[in-house]
């Protein structure tokens, strides 16, 4: 259980750091870039990837796609946290499992029970309620797009990682290390492009913040994997605790500490999201 608590804590801290980035004028793109450099170092130390299995001829295009999507969605997540709030962004991110489940049904031929269907319907309703925001100023009128991109982006990443897990010629942890490397290269090229074309300064403070971000981002992954190993006979418990824990704690921090304002429909969306995850988890439990 301690691994679950640590994984949830790391995930929420990542959101908090992204929330604080604007206040302290941290360049999110630069921080995200150095985050992957730090993740590479940590994954090499903890995962000890098998480099002997790496061969350019067997590397799937999925690795490259993930290498581009990961920093892109991370950047969008950071903007979403700043524009729409930590609470709503965490809900949108966790509800991205809706896309994963649809892929499981249509692409991977997974059978669905009634509870899962009900959970999906409730989850879809929760998404609509969560991203809803009354039209206000012109600057906030279209912020729901960020939530939608977070939802779709993390869902697509989940599906791609599912495809990566089916690649047997390269161990999964080695694949993860390789994806981090690709993400870092693309991110680095992009910040150099911005430095040349937009005269954006590459600052040391962004490097430091990126390393801190990378520490907690990697910690989220590491402890989540350890939780699954420690509770291998209770995968549904890990799944539910992780998603519900992040939504509840992230929402509380957003509302209480950052004074984020949610509408009544947003609160309904939050409750529906928790119900949807519980139903989907119960359906998984009955399937085991």
Q: Per-residue pLDDT tens for 265-283?
A: 999 999 999 999 999 888 8
Residue 200 pLDDT greater than 60, yes or no: yes
pLDDT of residue 280: 85
- Average pLDDT along the chain: 90
Burial 42-77 (b: 16+ CB within 10 A, else e): bbeeebebeeeeeeeeebbebbebbbebbbbbbbbb
Q: Which of 119, 124, 92, 151 is nearest to 281 (CA)?
A: 119
Domain edges within the chain? 2-287
pLDDT of residue 52: 84
Percentage of residues of the chain with pLDDT beyond 90? 67
Using left for φ > 0, alpha for ψ between -120 and 50, and beta otherwise, residue 48 falls in left
pLDDT of residue 284: 67
**What is the DSSP secondary structure assignment for residue 166, as one 8-state letter?**
T
Asked if 78 and 28 touch (Cβ cutoff 8 Å), the reply is: yes
Residue 62 pLDDT greater than 90, yes or no: yes
Single pTM value for the model: 0.90
Per-residue pLDDT, averaged over 33-53, amounts to: 92
């Amino acid at each position: 259980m301690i691994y679950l608590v640590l994984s949830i804590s790391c995930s929420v801290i990542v959101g908090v750091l992204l929330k604080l980035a604007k206040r302290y004028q941290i360049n999110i793109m630069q921080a995200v870039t150095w985050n992957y450099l730090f993740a590479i170092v940590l994954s090499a130390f903890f995962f000890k990837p098998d480099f002997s299995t790496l061969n350019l001829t067997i590397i799937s295009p999925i690795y490259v796609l993930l290498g581009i999507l990961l920093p892109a969605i991370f950047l969008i997540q950071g903007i979403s946290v700043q524009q729409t709030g930590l609470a709503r962004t965490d809900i949108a991110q966790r509800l991205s499992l809706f896309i994963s489940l649809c892929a499981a049904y249509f692409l991977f031929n997974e059978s669905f029970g009634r509870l899962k269907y009900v959970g999906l319907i409730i989850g879809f309703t929760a998404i609509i309620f969560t991203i809803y925001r009354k039209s206000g100023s012109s600057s906030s009128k279209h912020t729901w797009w960020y939530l939608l991109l977070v939802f779709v982006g993390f869902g697509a990443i989940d599906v791609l990682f599912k495809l990566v897990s089916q690649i047997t010629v390269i161990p999964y942890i080695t694949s993860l290390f390789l994806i981090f490397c690709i993400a870092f290269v693309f991110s680095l090229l992009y910040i150099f492009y911005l430095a040349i074309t937009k005269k954006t300064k590459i600052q040391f403070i962004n490097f430091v913040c990126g390393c801190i971000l990378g520490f907690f981002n990697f910690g989220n992954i590491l402890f989540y994997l350890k939780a699954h190993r420690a509770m291998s006979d209770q995968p549904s418990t890990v799944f539910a605790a992780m998603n519900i824990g992040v939504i509840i704690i992230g929402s509380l921090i957003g509302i209480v500490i950052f004074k984020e304002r949610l509408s009544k429909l947003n609160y309904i969306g939050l409750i529906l999201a928790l119900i949807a995850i519980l139903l989907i988890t119960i359906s998984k439990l009955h399937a085991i």
